[in-house]
Chain A
Amino acid sequence: MTREINDRVRGTIDSVYIGGGTPSVLPRGALTRIFDALRQNAVLDDDCEMTVEANPDSCTGEFIKEAADCGVNRISLGVQTLNDEILTAIGRRHDSSTALKAVREAHNGGIKNVSCDLMLGLPGQTLYDVSYAADTLCDLGIKHISVYSLNVEEGTRMYKSGYRVDDDVAADMYEAAYAKMKERGFVRYEVSNFALDGYRSRHNGKYWKREPYIGIGAAAHSFCGDTRSYNTFDIDGYISGDRGARSEKLSAADRLEEYIMLGLRTVDGVEFGTLDLLSGSDWRSGKREVLVSLSDKGLIDIGERGFALSEKAYYVMNEIIVRLI
């Protein structure tokens, strides 16, 4: 990875995100080498957001110390649930006390900005499990929560076991999580992401705002205005020096479609000015009928400069987006 950093990273950076895998299991010193390489090739802004993903069981004091020494100021923890039976059943190596301990380790190590991932629709999970986890984590002082519905992919052990997520159950859980987070002062700034004021993830925001980013490592994706690219998925190949990068040039239609699909995920929604620019036409009048019908049904809120999904529409957004692209 340091080789790719040397090759590709230049300029000023305001966000670093180490994840997609489990960086907390890296041998000590590895994280330091990555950050050293970054600093050798680029300038990290003073208020640069530096996030590292961690699993509760490997998020130890030692790991936190190295991360903090590297300048990491945000930890994203894969907690999933605080129900020990479910954690065992889905094959996680941590239990609830390990998860809570990991949050405290981060705080003690000086990393105050902790985000936790929670999953919905797990086998045996109840609405109470969801709000209990949210409450307990908020009590500990976390600043950000991401909630994802379990996606049972074909070929996995769970798929073979026959377990499927019931959409109604997942929607109930999502609503429970949303109500709880709202109560605790969190804002849903994207369909799956909730944050206290000032703690939205800058990094994730870049994906949704279509700002440029460089992805380093096997299977990492990069984006720059009109090109998406990604490295080889073959880890051994990558390590041996073959980055195997592929890229896809986005057409004007792609860019418009991505803008709508990503923008509507967020509380900021989309702006008419940008839609006009990307479509090269008066986008709003072309979609007038659809917009009116969605607005009449209370699914979107139209403002002067743009529109966003209404509160109740977030969890059925695909159905809405396909009408707009």
Chain B
Amino acid sequence: MERQKHIRNFCIIAHIDHGKSTLADRLIEATGTVSSRELTDQMLDSMDIERERGITIKLTPIRMTYVYEGEEYELNLIDTPGHVDFTYEVSRSLAACEGAVLIVDATQGVEAQTLANVYLAVDNDLEIIPVINKIDLPSARPDEAKREIEDVIGLPADDAPLVSAKEGLNIDKVLDKIITEVPPPSGDEDAPLKALIFDSYYDNYKGAVCLVRVIDGQVKAGMKIRMMHSAKEFDVTEVGVFDPKPAERRELSAGNVGYICASIKNVSDTAPGDTITDAARPAALPCPGYKKVQPVVYCGIFSTDGSKYNDLKDALEKLKLNDAALFFEPEVSVALGFGFRCGFLGLLHMEIIQERLEREFNLDIITTAPGVNYMVYKTDGEMVTVTNPSNLPNPSETERIEEPYVKAMIFTPPEYIGSIMELCQEKRGTYVDMVYMDKTRVRLEYEIPLNEIVYDFFDSLKSRTRGYASLDYELKGYKAEDLVKLDILLNNEVCDALSIIVHRDKAYARGRSIAEKLKEVIPRQLFEIPIQASIGNKVIARETVKAMRKDVLAKCYGGDISRKKKLLEKQKEGKKRMRQVGSVEVPSEAFMSVLKLDDK
């Protein structure tokens, strides 16, 4: 127990842009963990995308040492992913800590997302240390920020350190607070091993590496360990800590944060939330709170160049190595050929995967409209889960369809309440609650079908509130709704990749805007192309792409021939980006263009 008194495990909670990574960098610097020469901006975010977007996807715990009143302390900073898609991961990293530093931007106050994570931290019995950041900015209003912390969160904030992570101001005060206020771990070093996995990553040499917080007992190389939920067993090859590079240690004991390697081939065997125990002397109970992570948002991913199917498959497999939450299975589309139906934790997760496929693997991909998973109860009593609109059973065999809905929390300045309520109504939302946080901010709570959130809720919310409102949501459950499959027909043939599941009341408007959009993006061809939106056999919208009438280079004499040949070759090359849907050539962009439609 004496040893554990000198350990502090904590995380940082902050809204995007409120300075989490910068503060982490300053802490690392102030404790001398990394020399300033080695310090690249934002140590924690190791992926390019993370750094660019200012978000964290993969967690990296960092071990620091700090001397306070003559005694040396081990501080473990456990990072948390900065986005609502990863709420479960956040909860697991919080469970690995005893305290949380809450950063509040002195110019913006408490935000919705921060609040959600604060509640999570409170649920996990964490000691919360408020810190007011960005006090160097002229628009900083630290007193108001303090009052907000007290009013909105209910935490005393009188002596919250006022810092500027950017300028390195008062960083030592934060460190002192961590020592004095975060309780030390209190595990039983002699009890059977119990270590909580809060993240994992794939290493080409070591296999899946578990990032763990040891709760009780000890772990060292040579031990046989068991994953308490999956019941799989592995032999530990190495344990260590991050300071900040992986550094091998003889053992990890109760209270320590570090990594365990055990020649594990799949990251799916190292699920966040699972508990590692000693196979020879297992703990009686696992750590609480384990959940199997389920995808929430689905879409089809195809390679633009149909022949690159195998490259796409390899890329998804590589990403999956490091991302147990990514789900994919082969899918065949009449229009797009061979591809994959992929499942994600949320929209951001989806965007990140799409971006990584394009950037890191140089793939040109087509994605179909994101959707959710529906529970379809058939008349014969069977229930099927549908993630691909093409697989929706026939209406005559369907008793009811249930769709997922979420609890959405929207924070906004009061002047936008009207337009947000209007938006939520349009999106089939049900009003739950409205709370005035203070004079300048309101919290609106709605229940909204996830399908509507996935469609374009974020963008609409942003544009209607000039970016002032923020949204946080969590899955609530399933509800039966009047849902239909909306098909798009090109030249009288259904284009499966464009089918969507939509509420009947929305079908007309959506069908019309998809048809209009397609008319814009499908080029004129040798014959007239009717574009129809239909529900079952009933056509609800129609547009026509007129037949092409002029496609010729008029003059073609001696000097024009080479140029003309190049033009034709370019035109032919352009055809490769076209997908043949029946007799119609559809540009790849067309499939993406219907993902973002202007609301009418």
Please list the residues of chain A having a beta carbon within 8 angstroms of any beta carbon in chain B: 20, 147-149, 151, 167-168, 170-171, 174, 191-192, 204, 207-208, 213, 215, 219-223, 228, 230, 248, 254, 257-258, 261-262, 265, 297, 299, 314-322, 325
Contact = CB atoms under 8 A, between A and B. Distances in A.
Name, among B526, B550, B553, B554, the residue most crowded by chain A CB atoms within 10 Å (CB to CB). B550
A150 to B, nearest CB: 9
A318 B526 contact: no
A262 B568 contact: no
B558 interface: yes
Interface in B537-590: 546, 548-559, 561-562, 564-565, 567-569, 571-572, 575
B interface, size bucket: 20 to 34
Given A148-B554, A248-B562, A318-B571, A168 B526 contact: no
Given A228-B561, A262-B561, A325 B551 contact: no
B128 to A, nearest CB: 61
A265 B556 contact: yes
Contacts of A168: 546, 549-550
Contacts of A319: 525-526, 548, 551
B431 interface: no
Top 10 A-B residue pairs of the complex, sorted by shortest distance between their CB atoms: A171-B549, A148-B554, A167-B550, A221-B558, A221-B559, A322-B572, A318-B551, A171-B550, A316-B551, A319-B551
B549 A316 contact: yes
A145 to B, nearest CB: 13
A213 B548 contact: no
A138 B558 CA distance: 27
Contacts of B550: 149, 167-168, 170-171, 174, 315-316
A299 B526 contact: yes
B553 A318 contact: yes
Nearest to A319: B551
A167 B549 contact: yes
A318 B567 CA distance: 9
B119 interface: no
B555 A192 contact: yes
Contacts of A317: 551-552
Contacts of B524: 167
A215 B527 contact: no
B545 to A, nearest CB: 13
Contacts of B569: 325
A140 to B, nearest CB: 23
A317 B551 CA distance: 6
A318 B556 CA distance: 12
B88 to A, nearest CB: 51
Contacts of A314: 552
Nearest to B558: A221
B579 to A, nearest CB: 16
B101 to A, nearest CB: 57
Most buried by B among A174, A315, A318: A318
Contacts of A299: 526
A192 B554 CA distance: 6
Nearest to A149: B554
Given A191-B552, A248-B562, A297 B527 contact: yes
Given A171-B549, A315-B550, A315-B551, A322 B558 contact: no
28 contacts: A20-B559, A149-B550, A149-B554, A168-B546, A168-B550, A171-B550, A207-B557, A208-B556, A221-B559, A222-B558, A248-B562, A261-B565, A261-B568, A262-B556, A265-B556, A315-B549, A316-B526, A316-B548, A316-B550, A316-B552, A317-B551, A318-B551, A318-B568, A318-B571, A319-B526, A319-B548, A322-B571, A325-B572
A265 B567 CA distance: 15
B566 to A, nearest CB: 11
Contacts of A315: 549-552
B248 to A, nearest CB: 60
Contacts of A223: 558, 561
A308 to B, nearest CB: 15
B558 A215 contact: yes
B559 A219 contact: yes
Contacts of A220: 558-559
Contacts of B572: 322, 325
Contacts of B565: 254, 257-258, 261
Contacts of B557: 204, 207
Identify which of B526, B546, B569 gathers the most chain A CB atoms within 10 Å of its CB: B526
B20 to A, nearest CB: 48
B575 A322 contact: yes
Contacts of B548: 167, 316, 319
A299 B558 CA distance: 27
Nearest to B559: A221
B523 to A, nearest CB: 10
Contacts of A191: 552, 554
Contacts of B575: 322
Contacts of A170: 550
B18 to A, nearest CB: 47
Nearest to A313: B526
A317 B546 CA distance: 17
Contacts of B551: 315-319
Nearest to B572: A322
A325 B569 CA distance: 9
A213 B524 CA distance: 38
A230 B563 CA distance: 13
Contacts of B567: 318
Given A170-B550, A322-B572, A261 B558 contact: no
A9 to B, nearest CB: 16
B549 A230 contact: no
Contacts of A318: 551-553, 567-568, 571
A193 to B, nearest CB: 10
Contacts of B558: 207, 213, 215, 220-223
Interface string B379-423: 000000000000000000000000000000000000000000000
B391 to A, nearest CB: 32
A318 B526 CA distance: 11
Given A207-B561, A257-B568, 13 more contacts: A147-B554, A170-B550, A171-B550, A191-B552, A207-B557, A207-B558, A213-B558, A219-B559, A316-B526, A316-B549, A319-B526, A322-B575, A325-B569
A274 to B, nearest CB: 17
Contacts of B555: 148, 192
A265 B347 CA distance: 51
B556 A325 contact: no
A317 B564 CA distance: 12
A297 to B, nearest CB: 7
A262 B548 CA distance: 21
Contacts of B553: 318
A151 B571 contact: no
A261 B559 contact: no
A194 B173 CA distance: 90
